[in-house]
Structure 1
Amino acid sequence: MTQSAGQGGSGRHAGKAVAIAVAGLLVVGGGVGLAVASPWDDSPSEAGPGPSAPAGASSTPAEPAPTTAPPARDVTVNAVPADGAAAVNPVTVAEVSARNGRISDVTLEPVTGGAPVNGTLSADGTKWTAGERLAFNTQYAFTYTVSDTSGGKTTREQTFSTVEPANEADAALYPLDGTTVGTGQPLEINFSEPVVNKDAVEKAIKVTSTSGQPGAFYWLTDTKVRYRPQEFWAPNSTITVDMKLFGVDFGNAMIGNFDRTFTVKTHDTRLAVVDDKTKTMNVYIGGKLQRTFPVTLGTKEWPSTVGYHVVMEKYESTKFTAESIGLKPGDDAYYPPTVVKHASRLSNGGAFVHEALPAAQVALGSINVSHGCVGMSPEGAKYFYDNFGPGDVVQILNTNYGPMYVHDGFGDWNLSWEDYVNGTRQ
């Protein structure tokens, strides 16, 4: 079990210089060791007559003129972190410095064992600075020797402990590192703890792309932030997300615990335009029209949302339940659990592109019979499933209903750029 900060410290301090309990300051009086003449004292002294004193001189030796060694000046020591400090941010640079004295024999190491922390002593010996980061959830022993100007020495040991696991904050990026996605995929970062200091966290995350597209953050909640450029990502580009969150203060005493770089790539543009007026889907790949399919959309009671929808995930087959969209047995629109094929999710609320049930396929290209989904023929649904995946875009037009909300899946593109840039600070 890791010893708590400062435990056992009083025993180690016994018989050593008295510490002033203020932010790691230690004042060592000039009397560290015995008071001796200063080696830097060059004041002259008067000698009495020697054995060959001239005749007539007094036989009594003259008293030598007294010499006075200047007192050693008080040595002030400052150590960071302070003795007994707890929940120290590991990004803190450990150091010890002396005024009117010199530092030597510095050791900074985990109390429970492990490699000591490397550091550098200044040329004049007055300051030692750690050259590497501290670790989380670790109690450290900090030992050093201080010498005053008269040569007196004292050794001091102090302890401190760093942030414990309960106060560490982590984060995860979607899409996953190394994946390739469609050009409509916003970046999403989910934090393990609420972020209060949003500006500090944003500054610690740098997003660049080979297309050179600038972007903006948009906070959906205190634990979820999105990032997108003004227009869709350029096709066949590489996006780099450099998170330097180690030591970043999230607020509420939560501290970021890692630095990591992620890369995500985009493939060619893939856009499916669904128009309720014509009940068709036009499929564009690389900007060129490839196929047109008849579709059925949501009814007046269950309309399909307009605007841009980004494919979230897809299933070769999956089960739809009425309960997932808020219906219960006895409701007019209720339906029993139903297995559907080639289903691609467009929203958290349950909108999919999928193969219409056999009874609904007669409505393709003619009328709307779905609960908000885009129903297709077996051929059309399989073509969409085979060619569209996460990050690819479906644009739905003319349903006389509002756009999909930003939080209902990836509805980020339905916000104006101005609204996205101004964002939220919930």
Structure 2
Amino acid sequence: MADPAAGRPVTVTASGGTLKAVRVTDAGGGTLTGRAAAGGTRWVSDRKAVPGTSYTVEVTARAADGGESTTRSSFSTPEPERVNKLTLAPGKNTTVGVGHPLSIVFDRPVTRKADVERQLKVTTSNGTEGSWGWVKDWSGRDRADWRPRAYWKPGTKVTLEADLNGTDSGDGWFVRDYRTGFTVGAAQVVKVDLDRKRLTLLRDGRPVRTIPVSGGTPGGDKRSWRGTAVLMAKEGTINMNSETVGLGDAYDKMVDHSMRLTWSGMYAHAAPWNARHFGRANMSSGCIGISDADAASFYGQVRVGDPFEITGADTKGVIAEGNGYGAWNVAWPAWRDRSALR
């Protein structure tokens, strides 16, 4: 046996004769499957040995004279100094809108991005073309998103097999595998025209309703972002405090029907205090303000993952990839180039 180290396949070599059977098990009863190579004189496990684990190796070999013998040995890999974990979105067995990427945020820095990306297998029910891209999350952590070339087709089923157990991220080991899957719902897109101060909900490309709105105040830090945002969460009634988004003491209030669009604090929400400005002027602190009645019904119509395509002449810039799910603001060729395997 050679190279019984964490992060490497287990290799068993016959010292004369050939290998008839190899069984590698860990202390919990799990098995490392593998296959014979080099004419049956070598066996290599399919998966890597995991740090902090004891293994038993049982080998049955056939000698040149036809005799067989079985030997047993064991080895242990050292405990990892650091463990890396991750957070997956969307949640398992959820149904999301056509703009939601498959997103992985890592607890620790990933300096061996190619090694990690090789262990991430995305399967779709209809052969959707897509690519991983590495971004810096708003939290400052490393993040990998898998997005299609264009919005998902409704009904697409997506699964992720992240066979990371035993993979070194460069600043910590993964000590488990991850699985998730989700389904894509109806084809809904929200178009927000800040110049005309209106929002239009499209379903299957057809307008369902149009709502007068008030966006961010022109000319300063209270302007709205432009570009494509993806509805991250429907948070309901929440406290909004301007100090948390760098706007001093401009506001501190409870806000109904809150729909998060970015990590930096851009929402679509009910804003009855701005009623006189809906459809007439952009006078919010950066969010998309809607009347109570319109916000209540619109909140019930949209789904997490629905894209909001926001246009306007006076905005504070395009939504960054890591500020929520901003990958749609990167052209497809440039997004593919963000894969660590290109």
Q: Distance in 1 between matches of 2:32 and 2:335?
A: 45
Partner residue, 2:232: 312
Partner residue, 1:241: 160
Partner residue, 1:63: none
Q: Does the Cα contact within 8 Å between 1:220 and 1:424 map onto a contact in 2?
A: no
Aligned CA distance change for structure 1 residues 276 and 91 (closer, same or farther; 3 Å): same
Partner residue, 2:274: 360
Aligned CA distance change for structure 1 residues 344 and 257 (closer, same or farther; 3 Å): same
Name the structure where strand makes up a greater proportion of residues: 2
In the TM superposition, what is the alpha-carbon distance from 1:138 to its structure 2 partner?
A: 2.6
Partner residue, 1:89: 6
Q: Distance in 2 between matches of 1:360 and 1:119?
A: 64
1:343-422 alignment, distance < 5 Å: 343-357=258-272, 359-401=273-315, 402-422=317-337
Partner residue, 1:218: 133
SS of alignment partner, residue 268 of structure 1:
coil
Aligned CA distance change for structure 1 residues 103 and 311 (closer, same or farther; 3 Å): closer
Q: Does the Cα contact within 8 Å between 2:9 and 2:46 map onto a contact in 1?
A: no
Partner residue, 2:93: 178
Q: Distance in 2 between matches of 1:115 and 1:367?
A: 66
Q: Distance in 1 between matches of 2:303 and 2:60?
A: 64
Q: How many residues align?
A: 326
Structure 2 residue identity aligned to 1:184: G
Q: Does the Cα contact within 8 Å between 1:118 and 1:130 map onto a contact in 2?
A: no
Q: Does the Cα contact within 8 Å between 1:276 and 1:397 map onto a contact in 2?
A: yes
Question: Normalising to structure 2: TM-score of the pair?
Answer: 0.81
Moved more, 265-274 or 222-231: 222-231
* Equivalent of residue 169 in structure 2, options 242, 246, 250: 250
In the TM superposition, what is the alpha-carbon distance from 1:199 to its structure 2 partner?
A: 2.1
Structure 2 residue identity aligned to 1:345: R
Aligned CA distance change for structure 1 residues 258 and 327 (closer, same or farther; 3 Å): same
Deviation track 1:85-119 (CA, whole Å, cap 9, x = no partner) reads 7xx226522525324x8999x99777xx7759799
For structure 1, list consecutive stretches of 5 or more residues without a partner in the other structure: 1-78, 150-154
In the TM superposition, what is the alpha-carbon distance from 1:132 to its structure 2 partner?
A: 8.6
For structure 2, list consecutive stretches of 5 or more residues without a partner in the other structure: 65-69
**Higher RCO (CA < 8 A, seq sep 6+):** 2
In the TM superposition, what is the alpha-carbon distance from 1:344 to its structure 2 partner?
A: 0.3
In the TM superposition, what is the alpha-carbon distance from 1:282 to its structure 2 partner?
A: 1.4
Does residue 292 in structure 1 map to residue 210 in structure 2?
yes
In the TM superposition, what is the alpha-carbon distance from 1:413 to its structure 2 partner?
A: 0.9
SS of alignment partner, residue 115 of structure 2:
helix
In the TM superposition, what is the alpha-carbon distance from 1:136 to its structure 2 partner?
A: 4.4
Q: Distance in 1 between matches of 2:298 and 2:158?
A: 26
Does residue 303 in structure 1 map to residue 223 in structure 2?
yes
* Equivalent of residue 98 in structure 1, options 15, 18, 33: 15
In the TM superposition, what is the alpha-carbon distance from 1:352 to its structure 2 partner?
A: 0.7
Specify the structure having the higher radius of gyration (Cα).
Answer: 1
* Equivalent of residue 321 in structure 1, options 230, 238, 241: 241
Question: Normalising to structure 1: TM-score of the pair?
Answer: 0.66
Aligned CA distance change for structure 1 residues 368 and 147 (closer, same or farther; 3 Å): closer
Aligned CA distance change for structure 1 residues 167 and 95 (closer, same or farther; 3 Å): farther
Q: Distance in 2 between matches of 1:220 and 1:244?
A: 21
Q: Does the Cα contact within 8 Å between 2:132 and 2:339 map onto a contact in 1?
A: no
Aligned CA distance change for structure 1 residues 364 and 141 (closer, same or farther; 3 Å): closer
Partner residue, 1:275: 193
Partner residue, 1:80: 2
Aligned CA distance change for structure 1 residues 281 and 97 (closer, same or farther; 3 Å): same
Q: Distance in 1 between matches of 2:124 and 2:28?
A: 40
Q: Distance in 2 between matches of 1:140 and 1:315?
A: 47
Aligned CA distance change for structure 1 residues 97 and 318 (closer, same or farther; 3 Å): same
Q: Distance in 2 between matches of 1:421 and 1:102?
A: 45
Aligned-residue RMSD, C-alpha: 3.7
- Over the matched positions of the two proteins, sequence identity in percent amounts to 28
Moved more, 156-165 or 206-215: 156-165
Aligned CA distance change for structure 1 residues 184 and 140 (closer, same or farther; 3 Å): closer
Partner residue, 1:22: none
Moved more, 273-282 or 200-209: 200-209
Q: Distance in 2 between matches of 1:365 and 1:119?
A: 64
1:98-247 alignment, distance < 5 Å: 98-99=15-16, 136-140=51-55, 160-221=75-136, 223-247=142-166
Q: Distance in 2 between matches of 1:190 and 1:291?
A: 35
Q: Distance in 1 between matches of 2:58 and 2:145?
A: 46
Q: Does the Cα contact within 8 Å between 1:312 and 1:389 map onto a contact in 2?
A: no
Deviation track 1:11-31 (CA, whole Å, cap 9, x = no partner) reads xxxxxxxxxxxxxxxxxxxxx
Q: Does the Cα contact within 8 Å between 1:237 and 1:266 map onto a contact in 2?
A: yes
Q: Distance in 2 between matches of 1:213 and 1:146?
A: 46
SS of alignment partner, residue 224 of structure 2:
coil
Aligned CA distance change for structure 1 residues 95 and 360 (closer, same or farther; 3 Å): same
